[in-house]
Amino acid sequence: MNAPEKSVLERLTALIDDEYESDAAFERELGLPAKTVNNWRRGRSSSYMKMLPRICDCFSISIGGLLDMPVSSDTSELSDDETELLNEYRKASCLTQKEKEALKDTLLEVIRLYLTSREKPQSRGKRSAKK
């Protein structure tokens, strides 16, 4: 196990120890097979690396936070509209994880619906007159 992977595992197991009464309780929460966390702790498996998004959702933290690589708050490349949307979304920190997901899903769906409605109908070409 390399050093960065080991530090991720250390942070992850510390979160599990702080938030759950047992490894089994965490495994049940995520629907993992029994002994999964035990295998992580003993270095027998690094399957947690493939599951980071799911694990981070469970703890309501960012992947960058777990990896000790916080997401930059530099928004210089964003337009004013993008910055405004991002700032409003960040204010949602008082919401539960499920409420945040619902908010994000709703916003994404509204944007997609709007874009779909704005698409020009594709030309089918001219029809020939039937005789």
Same domain, 7 and 60: yes
Same domain, 21 and 60: yes
**Per-residue model confidence as pLDDT tens digits over 57-110:** 888 888 877 877 655 666 677 788 887 887 777 777 677 778 888 888 888 888
Same domain, 59 and 114: no
What's the structural domain count of the chain? 2
Distance (Å) of CA 84 to CA 25, 81, 96, 111, 118:
39, 5, 21, 15, 23
**Per-residue model confidence as pLDDT tens digits over 17-53:** 999 999 999 999 999 999 999 999 998 998 998 888 8
| CB contact at 8 A, 48 and 9 | yes
Same domain, 14 and 60: yes
Structural domain of 108: 80-118
- 103 found inside a domain: yes
- 23 found inside a domain: yes
The whole-model pTM stands at 0.52
Same domain, 62 and 94: no
Residue identified by tokens 């700032």 is 87
